[in-house]
Amino acid sequence: MKTNKKTLINAALYLYMIIMTFVVTFFASKIWQKEIWPNERFTIVVVSTASFIILLMAMSIKIKDIIKLLIYYHGIVILTVLMMLIPYEFRPVMAVFMIITLIAGTDTGLICALCVSVAVSFLYGAQQEFLYGTLIIGAFSCFVAANIKDKIKFIISCIVLFFITFFINGIFRYYDTNVFDYGFAGVSLASVLIALIIFINFYAIIKPKSVEPFIKDDSEPVIDIKSKSLSLYCHSEEVAELAKAGGEVIDCNSRLAYAGGLLHDIGKTKTGNDSVKEGLIIANKYGMPKEIKAIMVEHDAKHRLPSSKESAIVMLADSVISSLEYLKASNKAISEKKIIDNVFNVRLSTGALDKSGLTVGELSRIKGAFEHYYNI
């Protein structure tokens, strides 16, 4: 009975979204197309509504929570229509596609780009420049959103995409007229030059530092650990190898996981009471990447919960290795599988992995990689 009730509620919400889409597109067509034939308006509304409904179907495949789907879909349709109030040369339509890509993946983002492009072009009277412009911008936006996760990179990319949008829409605008506007052309050219400058300096300014120089055998941080404590080095190397094994079976930077495992306890080479603070001082001294410093802070979940997959993997690997070392020193029977099971269960139950971004499937693969590492 409960299942039937839920099905009916979901069906009612889907029906509501379809009706809402029709109403919104109908009024949008009346606002921007006042002098058109009734049959023409009918075609515009039907095609635009159908485009948005295809987007709704694509989103529903990826977003199972009906309430989230309701909120996201409302936002996309209403935001798209409101953006039509802005002159299309300046319209940040790429924001719509980037949001969907971040929420539901690249494939759904590209479907969104296609559907919104068709809907908007028909609401404007099926003008080809609107369709081509939004499709080009949409493809750019989806791939940027899918591949650039860092917040600073994301902001820079949005700025660049806005300039590119401005230029592409400007080209279509004046391609469709017989009047050449030198002032607008100059602004468009300047925007492209700014975008190119940002692109050229993009990686030089904010590209993450490579972890490789800090984990070579002859690097100063590694030599420092070896010279101060061979046992600490052996522990760190074991954590690094196990973390790397876990990182290789999921979509993450396994070399960063290795580096974090190798350097996570470098602060223990100092005599201070706070090894994490000491580790950060050493990391700043050597100019280590912020990703390694984050792992130093997060690897035991006491100072801060792991905020990345790599940090969470190092935490799990360190917990397993530390438990094995403790049992071995206590001359107790060692069961690697039992220890791995316990570590994963404890970290999950205490919420230590909540901010890491790891899925249940990824955790299962990491656990399997740990077991394979010990030939279990």
Instruction: Characterize 307-341 residue by residue with b for buried, 16 or more Cβ atoms within 10 angstroms of its Cβ, and e for exposed.
Output: ebbbbbbbbbbbbbbbbbeebeeeeeeeebeebbe
Out of 9-13, 77-81, 152-156, 291-295, the most confident range is: 291-295
Domain C-terminal end among 173, 206, 239: 206
Q: Hunting for tokens 């090894």 — which residue is that?
A: 275
**What would the two tokens of residue 11 be?**
């069906």
Residues 330 and 199 in one domain: no
Residues 129 and 178 in one domain: yes
- Segment among 167-176, 226-235, 283-292 with least mean pLDDT: 167-176
Q: Is the pLDDT of residue 117 over 80?
A: yes
Handedness of CA 26, 29, 31, 35 (dihedral sign): negative
| Backbone Cα Rg of the chain | 27
Residues 201 and 242 in one domain: no
**What would the two tokens of residue 6 be?**
């839920």
Cβ neighbour number for residue 192 with a 10 Å cutoff: 16
Residues 148 and 220 in one domain: no
Residues 327 and 196 in one domain: no
156-168 residue pLDDT tens: 777 777 777 777 7
Number of Cα atoms under 13 Å in the Cβ half of residue 199: 12
pLDDT of residue 329: 84
Cβ neighbour number for residue 115 with a 10 Å cutoff: 24
Cα–Cα distances (Å) from 301 to 152, 154, 318, 348, in that order, read 25, 27, 11, 12
CATH of the domain at 268: 1.10.3210
Cα–Cα distances (Å) from 122 to 21, 83, 169, 229, in that order, read 15, 15, 17, 70
For a pLDDT cut of 70, what percent of the chain falls above it? 82
Residues 239 and 366 in one domain: yes
How far is C-alpha 267 from the chain's CA centre?
Answer: 31
Q: Please give the single-letter amino acid code of residue 303.
A: H
Residues 194 and 218 in one domain: no
What is this structure's pTM? 0.52
25-56 residue pLDDT tens: 888 877 665 566 667 777 778 888 888 888 88
348-372 residue pLDDT tens: 999 999 999 899 999 999 999 999 9
Strand residue runs (E) in the chain: none
Residues 189 and 217 in one domain: no
What is the pLDDT confidence band of residue 200, given thresholds at 50, 70 and 90? Answer: low
Dmax (CA) of the chain: 88
Residues 194 and 73 in one domain: yes
Q: Is the pLDDT of residue 259 over 60?
A: yes
H-helix or E-strand containing 206? helix 182-206
Domain C-terminal end among 206, 227, 242: 206
DSSP code string of 93-132: THHHHHHHHHHH-HHHHHHHHHHHHHHHHHHTTS-HHHHH
Cα–Cα distances (Å) from 369 to 41, 158, 242, 359, in that order, read 59, 37, 8, 15
Q: What are φ and ψ of residue 90, in 5° steps?
A: -110, 5
Residues 51 and 71 in one domain: yes
Domain C-terminal end among 181, 206, 231: 206
Q: Is the pLDDT of residue 204 over 90?
A: no
Q: What does the alpha-carbon distance between residue 163 and residue 189 come to, in Å, rounded to a whole number?
A: 10
Please count the structural domains in the chain: 2
**What would the two tokens of residue 151 be?**
């917040």
H-helix or E-strand containing 135? helix 128-147
207-227 residue pLDDT tens: 556 788 888 888 899 999 999
Residues 114 and 181 in one domain: yes
Range of 260's domain? 212-373
Residues 247 and 151 in one domain: no
pLDDT of residue 150: 61
